[in-house]
Structure 1
Amino acid sequence: MTRVDVAEKVRDVRAQGDRAADTRGTRRPRVSHPSIRSLRRRGPWKRGLVTAALALALGLLMLLHERITDRGGVGSLLETFLPWFGLGVPVLLVIALWRRSASAAIALLLPVTAWLSLFGGLLGDRSQPGGDLIVVSHNVAAENADPVGTARALAASGADVLALEEISEEARGTYEKELAKAYPHHTVQGTVGLWSRSPLSHTRPVDTEQDVGPLGDSKPPSAKLTGNRALRTTVATGKGPVAVYVAHLGSVRVTSDGGFGTATRNRNAQALAHALAAERNERVVLLGDLNGTVDDRALGGITSQLHSAHDEAGNGFGFSWPARFPVARIDQILVRGVEAKSAWQLPETGSDHLPVAAAISW
C-alpha cells in the first residue's frame, strides 16, 4: 500500500468522526405505524373495553344466575358461592383505574347493583331484642373426635330446643347422656335428633328418600320408609305448640367426570318440601344441614314455604361451613308463622360445621 492510500484512509476516518460529532446528542425521530399512533390517542371511553366486557358479564351472571343450566350441578355450584362473586368488582375496578377507562368504570355499575340487590340486605345487624324460644341446630359430624365436649358446649348455649344432625351410632349414647340433664325430652330418628326442655309429641320420621313429583302433585308417598335423615315433632310451649322438623339432606360431591353431584340432595329437598306443604300447624321451624344455601334453586320448594331466620334477623352473611374458614351458609333455621328476633353462629366444636342459633317469637 502506498503512502497516498494511507493518507486517503486517514482522511476518510477523520471525516466520519467529524460527521459523528456533528450528529452526536441528536436522535433520529421514530416513525410509528398509524394504527399504533391511533391507539395512543384513544380516549378514556375507548380504553379498557375488555375490562368493561368482563364487568358486564359479571353483572349478568349475578342477575341471571337462575337461568344458568343446572346440568352437572353447575347452577347449584354457582348459587352456593354466589355472594363471593362480588369480589370480582374491586379487582375489575383496580384494572379500570389503572387503564383510566371510563367505559369500564361505568360498566361496573351493573355488577355492583346486582350484588347489592341480592345481598345488600345482609349487610349490617338486623337483630332485635327478645324471643320466646331459642333454637340451635348443629351438624355434629360423624367423625367428631370430641362428642363429649361438643355436647357440653351445646348444652351451655342456652338453647330451649337443640337439633343434631349426622349422629353416628357410636356417639349417640354420649349425646344422650351428656344432654339428659339440660333436656329431659328428646327423640333420635336415624342420624338426626331433637332435644327439648319442653315435652314432645306426634314424633315421627320423615321419609326424604321417597320419589315424589313436583310440589303440589297428588302422588302418594311411598309405603316403605327408606331414609332416616329427617324427623318431625311437636314442641309444647307456654304460648302454644310448634311443629319442628330436623333434616340432613344428602351431601353434594364433586364427581369424577368434573360435575357437581346433587341428585340425592335434590330428591331429599323435594320430599321434604312435600312434607312441609302437608303440615297443618301454622307455626313451623325447620332446623338442619340442608347442604345448600337459600339461594340454591334446589331448595326452592322449601324456601318458597319458609323463610330464613338469619336473613330476617342475623348479622352479616352467617356462613357456617367449613368451620375453620366458613364460605357458605348450608346450615339453616327456616321458619313459618313465627318471627325471628335474632340469629347467630356459635363457636366451633369438634365438627366441620358451626352451630347456628336463632331466637324466635310469636
Structure 2
Amino acid sequence: MDMAETNRGFFIHLQDKKAVVTEQEIPMPVVGPDDVLVAVSGASVNPVDLKRAASGDQQVMGFDTVGRVVRTGANVSGFSAGQKVFFAGEGQRQGSFARYQSVTSKLVVATPRGFESTFLASLPLTGITAWELLFEKMGYTASAGANHGQVLLVINGAGGVGSILTQLAKWSGLTVVATASPKNFDWLTANGVDHALDYHQDLTTAYQALNLAAPTGVAILYQPVPYAQVAADLVAYFGHVGSIVEPSGPLALAPLKNKSASFDFEYMSAKTDAGVNVASQGAILQQLADLLQSGAIRPTATRTFPVLTTETLTEGLHTLQAGHAVGKLTFHVGNLQ
C-alpha cells in the first residue's frame, strides 16, 4: 500500500476537567518483527481515553482500530498488504487516533465481510471487555444457549460495554435484566435484554417484582460504589459481582462472604500491560467477528462522525463526559474504507 509521507496524531488533554484535543505530526510507528502496521480507517472513543488523559498520559489514545495492512514484521504470517483488519490496541503503545498504528499481530483479526469500518470500530474494546467479564471472570460458558436457566443483572445496560455484553449474555442462554433510562428501553430490547429496569427506581424492589431467581451474576458497568451493597444483596449464593469501573471509594462487599460469592474486576489492557495471555484477545475478537458475521450479535455504533478532526473528537469526548452515552461513538479516519 502507498503511505502518506507523515503520520499525524491527536492528543487529549483536560482543561478545567473538559477534554481538549490537539493534532500534530508524530513519528511513523516502529514495526517490530511481530507487529502489523495499519493505515487507520475507523476508530472509536471510550471512557478509558479520558481516564488516561486525566492521569497525565501524553500518548495518542484510541483503543478501537479498523484499517488496512501496510506491512508486517519479519515473523508475521497470515496478513497481506491491503487486507482489512481490526483490533483493540495495546495500552502502552500509540493508539488509533492517528493515520498509522503498529500493534502486535497477536491482537489482529481479519474483518468480517459487509461491514463499514465505522460500524466495526464499535466492537473491539467493548466486545473483548464484555467477553472477558462474562466468560473468564464470572464463569459463564461461552457457547450458544449454554447458560439457560440462569439470570444476569446488568447495571448500565445501554452504555458501550453494556450494549454488547447483553447481546453476548443472551446468545449464551442467560435471562438478561438490565437498567437504563426508560427512553433507552427499546435499545436494551434490541440488544438482547429480557427485562428493562428504570435506573431511577429502587433496584432491589424492581428486581424482586420480576419474580425471577436470584441473579447468578451482577455486572456493574457504572461507578460501583452506589451499587455494591444492592448487588451483594441480590446476587445468588456462589454467584459473581463484576465491574469494569474503578471505585470512587470503599465497596460494601461484606454480604458476599456468607454467600461464598466473589467480586471480579475486568480491565482489558491488563493482559497487554502484563504481557500475559495476549493472544487470547485476538482469539476472542475472532469469535466476536464470527458471531457478527452470522448475525448472532450486531454492531453498537449509535453515532458516526464522517471524519476524525480535533473538533469531532472533542465533541465525542464531551458527549462521554456528559454521561449517559448510548452505545458507541465512532469515527471515519483517513481516506480508506
Give TM-score scaled by structure 1 length. 0.26
Bigger helix fraction:
1
Structure having the higher Rg: 1
Bigger strand fraction:
2
Between the two structures, name the one with larger relative contact order (CA 8 Å, sep ≥ 6). 2
